Amino acid sequence: MATMVIGSKTGIFQLNKTLWKCRTELGSDVVIDVEDFSFFLHKFPLMNASPVLRKLIGKNSHEQHNLCNFTLHDIPGGPHSFEHAVKFCYGEKFELTSSNVVPILCAAYYLDMNEDYMAGNLISQAENFLSNKVLSNWKESITALLSCEPVFNFAEKIDVVSKCLDSLACKVTYGKLSNSPTKPSWNGIVHADAAPLKLEGSDLNWWHDDVSSLSLPLFKRLIGLLGAKGHDPENISSAVIYYWNKVHPGLVLDSTGVYVDDLRILLEEMVALLPVQKGVTQTKTLLSMLSTSLMYNASTACIESLEKRIGAQLDESTLEDLLVPNLQGPNQPSSSKKNESKYDMDCIQRIIEQFVEENLNVTKTTSNLQDDENPMEAQAQELGKVAAVAKLVDEYLMKISTEAHLEFRQFQSLASAIPASARSSNDDLYYAIDIYLQYHAALSEQQKEQLCQLVDMRKLSRDACRHVALNEKLPLRVVVKVLFIELIHLKSSLGEQEAEALIGTELRGEIETETETEIDNGRRREMLWQRLKLHRNYETLKKLIKKLEKAKEARKNWSISFCKNMESVRIFKMLPASRGQQDAA
């Protein structure tokens, strides 16, 4: 620890409980009370160094009384600081250190012990030590700033707090070494020509633990200075999270909940300090803070800020991240259905909506590109993010669909939060709805149809379509719709002319006009036979659909028949090309 010795005399004062007395032959002619301590002193050395003491002594001296007595009110640092000021007046030896220089300097300013009144006075010597020995070193600066707490208002008044904070901010930006080749000025500020140190990895976080010992007001001001100096926002975010993780576990709730307000205030302040840039704070960390803010009834602004940050980078999240527990904090009612749910789904829906609002309009995002950026690449990246979130939301729906307290409107709202255009496949969405129907059998037919309307049947895989055809939980109209879509796919996959020959009335005529030579050809005959089977399958499907519209109870057997018929389609598609097609090739 840096020190500076002031004075040379020893043994002048002695302390007896709360009484300070001089060991001199001359009796004391002034008694100064500071809080519970009384200082028995002499007028001359005090009046010689401090105009404030000179004025007070003159005011309280009386001709008929040799002893002058008065009280010093509100001297910063109290009796301990005044003791050092008195020792300075008498030339008594004492040490300035990084832990006492600020209170002593405040007391010196209070007593107006300036250079104009006496050369080499206490203010100039304390300031010289502070600037040259303390603020030039990281650890000493931290110690000095911590010592400002008991005398904060006065230290703020004489600008010591700002000097300490600015010194720390510069050292974070340019490096903490006290023997830096660029010497700081009197207040610890490094000159502008000094380049920031290029550190990597954990080296960037060297200062986090030290500043976590600061009070919240001082920490906030330091973070503000770092932001103003353009320090790396990701590193600032790490420091804020480190401070939060170190301080908030100490705010343990007792049976009366006395620390609830302290924890809530701390959380709100930490969220406000986080840099606004996207991606500088991990989504998992933001979601953890969101859970705490929901539990302890943080302000609406705090919750909205977290949800907005999470929504902006939702594509970086995982399913586990979204499973925000529905925690019940102190003084919260527990009667609502929301409190009975395992997960907090309301906040997740707001986060999803936030993501959609900020990221779905790709043209708006790509219109502000820099000259060297490729619009196509940027658009592809944005579309990739939207697709990733759509898949994540569908996985989330499958996870929560088993919740007994998940109401129809909430599930429907969550499922529709992502626009249909964002999903390249609707399989996961369909399976999520299927699970929800399984665990919520009391839904009406109308509600089931409303959920199924969210699924774009054209974006279902063949396996998913087969599942729909056999799914007894679905409304009949939905199954019929899927089957018609399958027929359209069949027509599209075979080609327009091939499909017309397959499903039209001209098929038999085509068979009858085949020449004897062609019929004798085994391959051609086999192909025509398969075409005839497919035509019969198609006719059968149409008849079955009509029956299903009249008899819902026959749906399952019909669906199985449909699936078998579709096997014939695949057989036909795997057959070799006709002789005419081969000749054309």
The band of 360, judged by pLDDT with boundaries at 50, 70 and 90, is: low
CA–CA dist 444, 450 (Å, integer): 10
Measure Cα distances from 80 to 25, 106, 401 in Å.
25, 12, 67
The band of 124, judged by pLDDT with boundaries at 50, 70 and 90, is: very high
Q: Are 73 and 115 in the same domain?
A: yes
Query: Does some domain include residue 338?
Result: yes
Q: Are 453 and 552 in the same domain?
A: no
Q: Mark which of 141, 171, 201 sits at the end of a domain.
A: 171
Q: Are 63 and 157 in the same domain?
A: yes
Which of 346 and 382 is assigned the larger pLDDT? 346
Residue 343 DSSP one-character state: B
The band of 327, judged by pLDDT with boundaries at 50, 70 and 90, is: confident
CA–CA dist 252, 213 (Å, integer): 18
Q: What pLDDT is stored for residue 66 in this prediction?
A: 77
Single out the residue of 388, 387, 243, 402 nearest to residue 323, CA to CA.
Answer: 402
Question: To the nearest whole percent, how much of the chain has pLDDT over 90?
Answer: 55
Query: Does some domain include residue 470?
Result: no
Q: What pLDDT is stored for residue 250 in this prediction?
A: 65
Which of 99 and 525 is assigned the larger pLDDT? 99
The band of 326, judged by pLDDT with boundaries at 50, 70 and 90, is: confident
The band of 180, judged by pLDDT with boundaries at 50, 70 and 90, is: very low
The band of 466, judged by pLDDT with boundaries at 50, 70 and 90, is: confident
3-class state of residue 553 by DSSP: helix
Q: Are 53 and 144 in the same domain?
A: yes
Which of 305 and 371 is assigned the larger pLDDT? 305
Q: Are 314 and 392 in the same domain?
A: yes
Q: Are 498 and 444 in the same domain?
A: no
Average pLDDT over residues 289-296: 90
Q: Are 416 and 538 in the same domain?
A: no
The band of 256, judged by pLDDT with boundaries at 50, 70 and 90, is: low
Q: Are 34 and 126 in the same domain?
A: yes
Give the CA angle between residues 410, 415, 421 to the nearest 5°. 150
Query: Does some domain include residue 410?
Result: yes
Q: What pLDDT is stored for residue 361 in this prediction?
A: 60
**Mean pLDDT of all residues belonging to the chain:** 81
pLDDT of 245 above 80: yes
Q: Are 456 and 494 in the same domain?
A: no
Q: Could you tell me the maximum CA-CA distance found in the chain, to the nearest angstrom?
A: 151
Query: Does some domain include residue 474?
Result: no
Q: Are 413 and 532 in the same domain?
A: no
Query: What backbone torsions phi and psi does residue 58 show, to the nearest 5 degrees?
Result: -65, -35
Query: Does some domain include residue 193?
Result: no
pLDDT tens readout for residues 185-238: 444 444 444 444 444 445 789 999 999 999 999 999 999 999 999 999 999 999
Q: What pLDDT is stored for residue 561 in this prediction?
A: 61
Q: What pLDDT is stored for residue 261 in this prediction?
A: 83
Structural domain containing residue 154: 3-171
pLDDT tens readout for residues 535-578: 555 556 666 556 555 555 545 555 556 555 555 555 555 555 44
Highest mean pLDDT among 176-180, 313-317, 572-576: 313-317
Other beta carbons less than 10 A from residue 93's beta carbon: 13
Highest mean pLDDT among 328-332, 521-525, 526-530: 328-332
Note whether 316 and 280 are within 8 A (CB): no
Alpha helices in 63-129 (DSSP H): 78-90, 101-110, 122-129
Average pLDDT over residues 308-329: 87
Which of 252 and 160 is assigned the larger pLDDT? 160
Average pLDDT over residues 506-532: 43
Average pLDDT over residues 502-512: 43
Q: What pLDDT is stored for residue 493 in this prediction?
A: 63
Q: Mark which of 171, 193, 215 sits at the end of a domain.
A: 171
Domain count for the chain, please give it: 3
pLDDT tens readout for residues 34-90: 999 999 999 999 999 999 999 999 999 887 677 899 999 999 999 999 999 999 999
pLDDT tens readout for residues 330-340: 555 544 555 57
Q: What pLDDT is stored for residue 335 in this prediction?
A: 45
Q: Are 558 and 416 in the same domain?
A: no
Query: Does some domain include residue 469?
Result: no
CATH number at residue 85: 3.30.710.10
Q: Are 503 and 424 in the same domain?
A: no
Question: To the nearest whole percent, how much of the chain has pLDDT over 70?
Answer: 71
Query: Does some domain include residue 319?
Result: yes
Query: Does some domain include residue 521?
Result: yes
Note whether 264 and 296 are within 8 A (CB): yes
Note whether 129 and 96 are within 8 A (CB): yes
Q: Mark which of 156, 171, 186 sits at the end of a domain.
A: 171
